[in-house]
Amino acid sequence: MSISDARARSAELRELLNRALIAYHVEDDPVMSDAAYDVLYDELVALEVQHPKLVTGDSPTQRVGAPPSAKFQKVRHLSPMGSLDKVTTDESLHKWADDIRKRLGTDEAVAFVLEPKIDGSAINLLYENGRFTRGATRGDGVQGEDVTPNLRTIGAIPLQMQDKSPPPVLEVRGEVYMPLAGFREFNERLAAEGKAPAPNPRNAAAGSLRQKDPNITAQRPLSIWVYGTGHREGVDYLESHWDTLQWLRERGFRTNPFAERVESIDDVAERCRAWELRRVELDYEIDGLVIKVDSYDQQRRLGALHERPRWARAFKWAPMTAVTRLNKILIRVGRTGALNPWAVLEPVEVGGVTISRATLHNEEDINRKDIREGDDVIVQRAGDVIPQIVGPAGRHRRGTKPFAMPTHCPLCGVEVVKPEGEVMHRCPNKACPSRGLESLNNWVMAAADIDGVGEQTVRRLWELELVRSIPELYRLTAEQLLEVEGFGEISAGNAVAAIEASKEISFSRVLYGLNIPDVGWVTAQTLARHFGNVDALMNATQEELVEAEGIGPERAEALAEWFRDEDNRRLVEELRDLGLRFETGEEARQVEGPLTGRTYVITGTLERFTREEAAERLEALGAKVGNSVSSKTTGLVVGEDPGKSKLTKAEKTGVAQLTEADLLELLGGG
């Protein structure tokens, strides 16, 4: 190939590959497969090796592999990167709007643009004649650190603007961030390497940008949202911030799809309240909304004070992470005998809520994160769920020791076992006090969902020995409840009425509440649909049990053994005599809906739902929810700490893996 042909082909390849990167990272609409991209990329590499003079600064091959630098050079921004004053209440928001009207001195309309405030690392990208030539951190707003080689490794940053007549000089401002899914994987990798986890995605993104070796940055799952411009030449025709966002996106920059233009400050306040709840739906962290006056003419007239624009504010919410002391790790024994560790914390405010305890999954997870009693730890909260501990905040305090599960049950003293292939330790004692208490809690809170009878009430009834089993709950009288602190005649009557009404729960809910080993919400529904009534289920052989969807030989053996037990059979008969339902009715029929014909499997812990709630929501839209992944499975919903076997099977069979955000979209779309 002649040099002229090589020059033409390399230019063509650069254009194709850069277009593919924008389609993938910016537009979320891939134009070619990964394999096709790799073929073209390798061809460009070969041409550049053969003809080194063909290498250009905007070539995709220049994103990775720049030599490590000894230090970061300080560079001046062409225009300052000012910071924003913040507001945190509707009152302060309206006060700012009043100040805007007074300064403008007219009754002219003022429109606002809102954008999610990404909790990442602010950067400034310099483009000269459309080509990315330099990138720097925000620094002190006047000058920052030159991190150009690291920014080149981020596929969502275009090396060449998609503009036939690009401006001679343009500063583009954005926020580099780490998606939550990538952040979890990043921390897991750090823990596996024996390193301390990053406290939050913002620190992880900032630290990744400041790596001296760009090859390390290239291994980090970074992306960017662009939110505006700084110094610019040749684009005076842009008259508003909203127009600028559209203009940037048309030229290959990744602007946030949730940016919105509204006509009044009341609309702004409503969006701020709504997004505080909605932020958990995103796969990246936001700590508020950025609000800007849309018109550039109005922005110029409003001006700035000490580099803080009067025409913009950051509406900030309470942080979702905090650092506090882990005082103690305690053990709660569940209804199946599982030992569940949980953390007692020094009270701390997280996301506007005071937190004093956090969930801990199991011994393996605790030691993988290297969480110890007496340490300062990073606590994270998302939505209205019990918070979780990310890991230690810095070095361990002197005298702390790795956590070890107790060798004996803290309630009954029986030696703890850890069945082969399981991550949970268990108390094997069927007479352990925890079984009865936690079974009752599961019944009133999940299976029967009895209004007005919660966990604290059950615990008090247990302590007073008024209720020690599910049948005793249904024999409870209003007179007995009047002996319990907090109950009056009306509340006692309402509670008894709610207990009586719960006799109408479906057969599948009854099965779920019976505390049958390894029978969760989905399996209970499967068994109820397949057998139709409890007599057929109780008398089924193992061969008949495995005919039900998702029931393998081991689970069938456990089911048959449970129903052979005379105490369990007596429990079934006692509840049937009390009027509970032990046969299917209308609820067993498959619901017709927008998800009819699809099958989903759920694995791991979800933030917004229990797995049972998620399954119920999916089934309400017509979907089937199974226990095991097969080629017929539509999608595997993956939460935190998912089952490895389900993930492996999904990858082998090509089943789509869905995040909780995907699940929320699925449910909302229905």
Active site residues: 117
Rg (CA), the chain: 30
Instruction: Determine the Cα–Cα distance for residues 507 and 530; give it in Å rounded to an integer.
Output: 12
Question: 342 and 112 in contact (C-beta within 8 Å)?
Answer: no
For 359, the 3-state DSSP assignment is strand
Instruction: Determine the Cα–Cα distance for residues 215 and 220; give it in Å rounded to an integer.
Output: 9
**Residue 479: enclosing H or E segment and its boundaries?**
helix 478-481
Token pair 């070619």 is found at 32
What sign for the dihedral angle of Cα 593, 595, 597, 601?
A: negative
- The HSE-up count of residue 638 (CA atoms within 13 Å, CB side) is 21
DSSP 131-186: EEEEEEE-TTSSEEEB-HHHHTT-TTS-SB-S-SS--SEEEEEEEEE--HHHHHHH
Tokens standing for residue 443: 């019944």
Cβ neighbours around 648 below 10 Å, total: 11
- Provide the 8-state DSSP code for 474: H
Cα angle for residues 118, 222, 369 (degrees, 5° grid):
90
Instruction: Determine the Cα–Cα distance for residues 246 and 115; give it in Å rounded to an integer.
Output: 13
Closest CA to 252 of 224, 231, 280: 224
